[in-house]
């Protein structure tokens, strides 16, 4: 793993030293090489913490999220192959991957916070430099200030944690009972300050306004990395915090779960009123991430495994949905569903993939979404039977906006018969590379089970 880290740093520095004509192909083959190495090391990476060096190590969750990062970065570079020929774009993608690598593998809370915030810088430049609309400056500033404002309490709480425990090591802090150090009301406030940054990063409803703006103004590659990996940083950070504050969850988890599920219901209703399909996909991310956080708040082994499955499956599914919307946008130059009618007559092959990804977003079998959501639904109903009524409406509204996402583009009468270019093989390959692991990994779902 250290070798991968040094190789990534070398790839970032390399174009400043040599002007490689085939730098793009070199990066793509290198990412594919890392992915294959991770596949061969699958079974040796599982279990409890494996140390790399000092404050760097990994467990099952961090390894699987880095595995997802490699694949999404590979696909975002492949999807942007014919548009951005600048090496600066590649360097930003590799920097994002390097910071995510260090963030997922940090066992020190301060190092985790440092790399957690460092990811913002290349993401900010990516949206600002390669965005579509003039409003990209406002959306990138929304992303920057929302995240920085929410993470300042986390920054202060980390030093407050060090003041009482004299350590920021995650493994050591898992065995510390914080009630021995301060009063109950103080530790409740401390708990809220430490998780607030991750609730905004996910994001949950009421703290989500930066996400639709960032997705709409970001290029395709920016939307893919935002939905695929960066939102998972919030879930990963919550999991690390909950292992320390696990005793406080016994007092506060029910209130938080009701609040988050209610926000997900409101987000699903907002999806039904969206005309911009990219905005619809962004709000659907808020819905599914709310369900994922609810599973983390239950904090038993069954629900945490379900949350990890949703993180992986949502990263692949939402990234592919942005690819599909972008394919139509490049041919019609609009994302409005008012102009999307009757594409089943123009793109019947693309319609099949659009349907397959839409039903995966609805958690249809055999997708990983189904298994992850079943784990969380069973955990919620076991926790409290009153969640059955909320889950009924959650099912209903999610099905409605999933069907709306499909029929708004491919059914009805075509408004304009104007010449449009065919969908190329590269675009079909990108969709297939999203769909294949999303549906085939359910045959080997034990790889995603945490052993706590």
- Per-residue pLDDT tens for 211-250? 888 888 888 888 999 988 888 899 999 998 888 888 788 7
Mean pLDDT for the stretch of residues 303-321: 92
**Distance in angstroms (rounded) separating the CA atoms of residues 169 and 167:** 6
Q: Which helix (H) or strand (E) holds 57?
A: strand 56-58
**Distance in angstroms (rounded) separating the CA atoms of residues 79 and 423:** 13
Record the tokens describing residue 350, joined without a space.
């693309």
pLDDT value of position 289: 92
Q: Which of 93-107, 170-184, 207-221 has the lowest mean pLDDT?
A: 170-184
The pLDDT of residue 308 is above 80: yes
The pLDDT of residue 408 is above 60: yes
Instruction: For tokens 């999806």, name the residue.
Output: 271
Q: How confident is the model at residue 376 (pLDDT cuts 50, 70, 90)?
A: very high
**Distance in angstroms (rounded) separating the CA atoms of residues 295 and 298:** 5
**Contact in structure between 109 and 168 (CB atoms under 8 Å):** yes
SS3 52: strand
The pLDDT of residue 417 is above 70: no
**Mean pLDDT across the chain:** 83
Record the tokens describing residue 99, joined without a space.
């910071």
Identify the sign of the CA torsion 360, 365, 366, 372.
positive
SS3 183: coil
**Contact in structure between 221 and 76 (CB atoms under 8 Å):** yes
* E strand spans, 344-431: none
CA atoms within 13 A on the CB side of 389: 4
Name the β-bridge partners of 18: none
**Distance in angstroms (rounded) separating the CA atoms of residues 341 and 347:** 11
Q: Which of 46-50, 72-76, 363-367, 438-442 has the lowest mean pLDDT?
A: 46-50
The DSSP-derived string for 197-241 is: HHHHHTTPTTS-THHHHHHHHS-HHHHHHIIIIIHHHHHHHHHHH
Record the tokens describing residue 92, joined without a space.
């930003």
**Distance in angstroms (rounded) separating the CA atoms of residues 75 and 68:** 11
pLDDT value of position 13: 54
Q: How far is CA 211 from CA 92, 214, 244, 313, in A?
A: 20, 5, 28, 19
C-alpha dihedral, 362 to 366 to 372 to 376, nearest 10°: 70
Q: Which of 16-20, 22-26, 333-337 has the lowest mean pLDDT?
A: 16-20
Name the β-bridge partners of 58: 50
pLDDT value of position 11: 58
Q: What are φ and ψ of residue 150, in 5° steps? A: -75, -25
Q: What are φ and ψ of residue 230, in 5° steps? A: -65, -35
**Contact in structure between 74 and 113 (CB atoms under 8 Å):** no
**Distance in angstroms (rounded) separating the CA atoms of residues 375 and 61:** 16
pLDDT value of position 138: 84
In 3D, which of 309, 300, 306 has the Cα closest to residue 65?
309
Q: Centre a 10 Å sphere on the Cβ of residue 22 and count the other Cβ atoms it contains.
A: 9
Q: Is the peptide bond before 182 cis (omega within 30 degrees of 0)?
A: no
**Contact in structure between 97 and 69 (CB atoms under 8 Å):** yes
Q: How far is CA 104 from CA 26, 124, 451, in A?
A: 25, 20, 17
The pLDDT of residue 18 is above 60: no
Q: Is 36 or 89 the better-scoring residue by pLDDT?
A: 89
| 184, burial (CB in 10 Å: exposed 0-12, middle 13-18, buried 19+) | exposed
**73 Cβ partners below 8 Å, 6+ apart?**
31, 93, 94, 96, 97, 225, 229
C-alpha dihedral, 322 to 325 to 328 to 330, nearest 10°: -50
Predicted TM-score of the model (pTM): 0.91
Long-range contacts from 348-354, C-beta under 8 angstroms, 24+ separation: 349/423, 349/428, 350/324, 350/423, 351/410, 353/324, 353/428, 353/431, 353/432, 353/435, 354/324, 354/406, 354/409, 354/410
Per-residue pLDDT tens over the stretch 273-299:
888 889 999 999 999 999 999 999 988
């Amino acid at each position: 793993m250290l070798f991968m880290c040094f190789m990534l740093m070398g790839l970032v520095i390399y174009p400043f030293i040599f002007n490689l004509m085939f730098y793009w192909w070199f990066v793509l083959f290198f990412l594919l090489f890392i992915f294959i190495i991770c596949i061969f090391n699958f079974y040796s990476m599982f279990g409890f913490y494996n140390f790399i060096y000092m404050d760097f190590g990994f467990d099952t969750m961090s390894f699987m999220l880095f595995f997802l990062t490699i694949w999404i970065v590979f696909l975002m570079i492949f999807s942007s192959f014919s548009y951005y020929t600048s090496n600066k774009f590649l360097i930003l993608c590799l920097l994002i991957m390097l910071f995510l690598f260090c963030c997922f593998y940090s066992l020190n809370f301060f190092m985790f916070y440092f790399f957690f915030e460092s990811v913002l810088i290349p993401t900010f430049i990516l949206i600002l430099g390669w965005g579509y609309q003039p409003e990209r400056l406002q959306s990138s500033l929304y992303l920057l200030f929302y995240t920085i404002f929410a993470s300042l309490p986390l920054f202060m709480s980390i030093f407050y944690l060090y003041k009482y425990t004299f350590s920021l090591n995650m493994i050591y802090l898992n065995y510390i009972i914080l009630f021995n150090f301060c009063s109950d009301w103080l530790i409740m406030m401390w708990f809220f300050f430490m998780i607030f940054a991750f609730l905004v990063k996910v994001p949950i409803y009421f703290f989500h306004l930066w996400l639709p703006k960032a997705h709409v103004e970001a290029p395709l590659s920016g939307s893919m990395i935002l939905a695929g990996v960066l939102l998972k940083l919030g879930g990963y950070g919550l999991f690390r915090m909950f292992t320390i504050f696990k005793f406080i969850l016994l007092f506060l988890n029910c209130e938080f779960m009701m609040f988050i599920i209610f926000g997900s219901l409101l987000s699903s209703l907002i999806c039904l009123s969206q005309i911009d399909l990219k905005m619809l996909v962004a709000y659907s991310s808020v819905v599914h991430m709310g369900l994922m956080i609810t599973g983390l708040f239950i904090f038993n082994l069954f629900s945490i495994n379900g949350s990890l499955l949703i993180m992986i499956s949502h990263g692949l599914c939402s990234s592919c949905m942005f690819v599909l919307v972008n394919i139509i946008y490049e041919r019609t130059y609009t994302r409005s569903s008012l102009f999307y009618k009757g594409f089943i007559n123009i793109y019947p092959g693309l319609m099949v993939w659009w349907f397959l990804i839409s039903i995966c977003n609805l958690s249809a079998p055999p997708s990983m979404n189904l298994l992850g959501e079943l784990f969380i639904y069973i955990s919620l109903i076991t926790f409290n039977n009153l969640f059955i009524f909320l889950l009924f409406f959650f099912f209903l509204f999610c099905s409605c906006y999933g069907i709306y996402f499909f029929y708004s583009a491919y059914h009805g009468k075509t408004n304009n018969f104007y010449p449009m270019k065919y969908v190329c093989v590269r675009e079909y390959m990108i969709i297939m590379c999203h769909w294949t692991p999303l549906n085939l990994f359910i045959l080997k779902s034990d790889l995603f089970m945490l052993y706590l």
